[in-house]
Amino acid sequence: MMYANFRSIIWSLLAPFLFIFGYVVYFASDTVKTWDINRDSIINSVFVKRGWFWNSLVLWYVILFTNITIVDEPKRNNSIEGRKTKTRIHTLNIKKFIKRYVIVTMWWILFTQGIPFFKIPPIMDLCFVFTGGSCNFEIFDESNAINIKFQDSEYRKLKSLKRIYKILKDYKESYIESSYLHHLRCAIDENAEGCMDFVPSKDTNELIKKIQDLDPMVQFISSKCKRNGGHWVGGHDPSGHIFLLTLMMMMIIAELPKINRIRKQNMIYQKDSKIRRVNIVEKISKIIGEIIGTIPSRSILSNGLLSTYEKLYQFLILPIMQNVKLIIQLISYTIHFALFQEPAVLLISLLGMWCYSFLITIIVFHTFYEQVTGFLSAYIVAVIIYRLVK
Same domain for 163 and 100, yes or no, is no
- What pLDDT is recorded for position 365? 80
Same domain for 105 and 184, yes or no, is no
- What pLDDT is recorded for position 313? 64
Task: Write the CA distances from 188 to 288, 301, 379, integer angstroms.
Answer: 50, 48, 42
Is a pLDDT exceeding 70 seen at residue 138?
yes
Mean pLDDT of the chain: 76
- Average pLDDT over every residue of 296-324: 64
Whether residue 159 is contained in a domain is answered as: yes
Q: Which of these three, 205, 233, 261, is where a domain ends?
A: 233
Kindly give the pairing relationship between strand 134-136 and strand 84-89: unpaired
Same domain for 285 and 216, yes or no, is no
Whether residue 352 is contained in a domain is answered as: yes
Alpha carbon of residue 175 to chain centroid: 42
DSSP string, 13-43: HHHHHHHHHHHHHHHH-SSGGG----TT-HI
- What pLDDT is recorded for position 196? 57
- What pLDDT is recorded for position 59? 93
**384 lies in which domain range?**
2-115+239-388
Residue, of 274 and 221, whose pLDDT is higher: 221
Residue, of 116 and 248, whose pLDDT is higher: 248
Q: Tell me how far apart the alpha carbons of residues 57 and 109 are, in angstroms, rounded to a whole number.
A: 17
Whether residue 343 is contained in a domain is answered as: yes
Domain count, the chain: 2
Whether residue 66 is contained in a domain is answered as: yes
Q: Tell me how far apart the alpha carbons of residues 108 and 25 are, in angstroms, rounded to a whole number.
A: 29
120: alpha, beta or left? (left if phi > 0; alpha if psi -120 to 50): beta
140 CB contacts (<8 Å, ≥6 apart)?
A: 146, 147, 183, 187, 200, 204, 205
Is a pLDDT exceeding 60 seen at residue 305?
no
Whole-structure pTM value: 0.76
Q: Which of these three, 233, 267, 295, is where a domain ends?
A: 233
CA angle 130, 135, 137 (to 5 degrees): 150
Across the chain, where does the E strand assignment appear?
A: 68-73, 84-89, 134-136, 231-233
Could you tell me what percent of the chain has a pLDDT over 90? 14
Same domain for 229 and 243, yes or no, is no
Predicted confidence (pLDDT) per residue in 88-115, tens digit: 777 888 899 999 999 999 999 999 888 8
Same domain for 90 and 143, yes or no, is no
Radius of gyration from C-alpha coordinates of the chain: 28
DSSP string, 222-257: HHHHHHTT-EEESS----HHHHHHHHHHHHHHHHHH
Q: Tell me how far apart the alpha carbons of residues 78 and 242 are, in angstroms, rounded to a whole number.
A: 53
Same domain for 64 and 178, yes or no, is no
Residue, of 259 and 378, whose pLDDT is higher: 378
- Average pLDDT over every residue of 372-386: 92
Same domain for 228 and 248, yes or no, is no
Query: Of 16-20, 163-167, 323-327, 377-381, where does the model show the most confidence?
Result: 377-381
Task: Write the CA distances from 250 to 32, 92, 321, 354, integer angstroms.
Answer: 26, 21, 41, 10
pLDDT band at residue 56 under the 50/70/90 scheme: very high
Give yes or no for a contact between 240 and 358, defined as CB atoms under 8 angstroms apart: no
- Average pLDDT over every residue of 380-384: 91
Task: State the burial class of residue 148 (Cβ atoms within 10 Å of its Cβ: 0-12, 13-18, 19+).
Answer: exposed
Same domain for 229 and 295, yes or no, is no
Q: Tell me how far apart the alpha carbons of residues 62 and 262 are, in angstroms, rounded to a whole number.
A: 11
